[in-house]
């Protein structure tokens, strides 16, 4: 019997400390961050069928060590994590109103802002991967030269056969201007094969009038796979130049933090496993609804 080779999934971004209010006055401190959330869920779904590695930079302090231990304990490979002794981890706190989350950040000098400073580590990581995943947050936190370095490395990796998956995950506060944000997100999407936007954010910042508008803007030539997430409402899937709508079952959320990240893991796992779009969507939605039924990004 031949055993199929595990897929190598590389996720690139910022792992942070997360503060999530439990019963007043108690707050839980966990570890989360959009690209880490997706990597974490994907590893749980895939088990031995995927090797998952996380690419970031952390400090050399005890809280950075906790983050790294958390990642390693999840079975995620930490070989591409670099350390910047002069910096520490970023922190965010969740505020909730009727289950809808907003974030307060303390991350201006986090180590992760330097994650793309070393071209050799980037090349080694892309050389290892079958699929690489990043988000608009990954790009937003970088200095302009580092952003260019990462975009160039992505283009080379794609040419060399790495599948690139990208969630624009729009966070305007993290960018220096709305123009730079929009232009950079479009450039990243151009070097991606799979794009996973959220309709509400895209409509607000790119003016898309419909799910199809959003899918077509990202898939101008019909060569990409685009899944437009949409809270508890219909999702659109563009593939092979055709766009289909899929009804989703809405629920009352406890905390929507990480819904999109969990959805992405479910979708990517389905596609890596060769499942149909319908089956992949069902898994993605089930995982997202599970996550939003609990506080914090990771359940």
Ligand X SMILES: Nc1ncnc2c1ncn2[C@@H]1O[C@H](COP(=O)(O)OP(=O)(O)OP(=O)(O)O)[C@@H](O)[C@H]1O
264 binds ligand KDG (CB under 6 A): no
20 binds ligand KDG (CB under 6 A): no
User: Which residue ranges make up the site for ligand X (CB under 6 A)?
Assistant: 169, 198, 229-232, 235, 248, 250-251, 253, 256-261, 263, 285, 288-289, 292
d(CA 157, CA 211): 29
Which among 64, 57, 48, 66 is positioned nearest to 9, based on CA atoms? 48
- In the complex with ligand KDG, the residue whose CB is nearer, 194 or 243, is 194
37 binds ligand KDG (CB under 6 A): yes
Which of 136, 197, 260, 270 contacts ligand KDG by CB under 6 A? 260
- In the complex with ligand KDG, the residue whose CB is nearer, 33 or 243, is 33
- In the complex with ligand KDG, the residue whose CB is nearer, 202 or 261, is 261
137 binds ligand KDG (CB under 6 A): yes
Environment class of 4 (CB within 10 Å of its CB; exposed 0-12, middle 13-18, buried 19+): exposed
196 binds ligand KDG (CB under 6 A): no
Q: In 3-state terms, what secondary structure has residue 191?
A: coil
- In the complex with ligand KDG, the residue whose CB is nearer, 89 or 260, is 260
* Cis ω for the linkage preceding 36 (within 30 of 0): no
Please say whether the beta carbons of 54 and 80 come within 8 A.
yes
End-to-end CA distance of the chain: 36
Environment class of 26 (CB within 10 Å of its CB; exposed 0-12, middle 13-18, buried 19+): exposed
261 binds ligand KDG (CB under 6 A): yes
Rg (C-alpha) for the chain, rounded Å, is 18
Residue 263 interacting entry, from ligand KDG, ligand X, none, C-beta within 5 to 8 Å by type: ligand X
Which helix (DSSP H) or strand (DSSP E) does residue 96 occupy? strand 91-97
Which of 32, 116, 192, 235 contacts ligand KDG by CB under 6 A? 32
Please say whether the beta carbons of 106 and 92 come within 8 A.
yes
Q: Which of 167, 208, 219, 261 is an active site residue?
A: 261
d(CA 223, CA 156): 18
Residue 33 interacting entry, from ligand X, ligand KDG, none, C-beta within 5 to 8 Å by type: ligand KDG
Residue 255 designated active-site? no
Contacts of 163 (CB under 8 A, 6+ apart): 130, 131, 132, 193, 194
Residue 186 interacting entry, from ligand KDG, ligand X, none, C-beta within 5 to 8 Å by type: none
Residue 137 interacting entry, from ligand X, ligand KDG, none, C-beta within 5 to 8 Å by type: ligand KDG
280 binds ligand KDG (CB under 6 A): no
Interface residues with ligand KDG (CB under 6 A)?
32-34, 37, 92, 103, 137, 171, 257-258, 260-261, 297
Active-site annotation, residues: 261
């Amino acid at each position: 019997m031949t055993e199929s080779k595990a897929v190598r999934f590389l996720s690139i971004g910022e792992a942070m400390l997360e503060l999530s209010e439990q019963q007043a006055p108690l707050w839980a401190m966990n570890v989360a961050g959009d690209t880490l959330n997706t990597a974490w869920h994907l590893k749980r779904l895939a088990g031995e069928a995927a090797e998952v590695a996380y690419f970031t930079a952390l400090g050399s302090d005890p809280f950075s060590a906790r983050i790294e231990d958390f990642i390693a304990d999840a079975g995620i490979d930490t070989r591409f994590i670099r350390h910047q002794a002069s910096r520490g981890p970023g922190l965010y706190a969740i505020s909730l109103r009727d289950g809808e989350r907003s974030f307060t950040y303390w991350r201006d000098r986090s180590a992760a802002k330097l994650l793309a400073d070393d071209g050799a580590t980037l090349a080694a990581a892309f050389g290892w991967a079958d699929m690489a995943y990043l988000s608009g947050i990954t790009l937003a936190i970088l200095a302009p030269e580092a952003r260019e370095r990462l975009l160039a490395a992505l283009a080379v990796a794609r040419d060399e056969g790495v599948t690139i998956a990208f969630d624009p995950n729009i966070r305007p506060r993290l960018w220096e201007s709305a123009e730079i944000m929009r232009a950079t997100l479009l450039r990243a999407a151009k070097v991606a094969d799979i794009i996973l936007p959220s309709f509400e954010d895209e409509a607000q910042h790119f003016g898309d009038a419909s799910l199809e508008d959003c899918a077509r803007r990202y898939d101008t030539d019909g060569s990409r796979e685009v899944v437009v997430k949409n809270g508890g409402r219909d999702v659109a899937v563009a593939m092979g130049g055709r766009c289909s709508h899929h009804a989703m079952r809405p629920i009352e959320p406890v905390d929507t933090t990480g819904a999109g990240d969990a959805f992405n893991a479910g979708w990517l796992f389905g596609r890596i496993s060769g499942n149909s779009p319908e089956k992949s969507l069902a898994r993605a939605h089930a995982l997202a609804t599970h996550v939003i039924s609990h506080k914090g990004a990771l359940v």
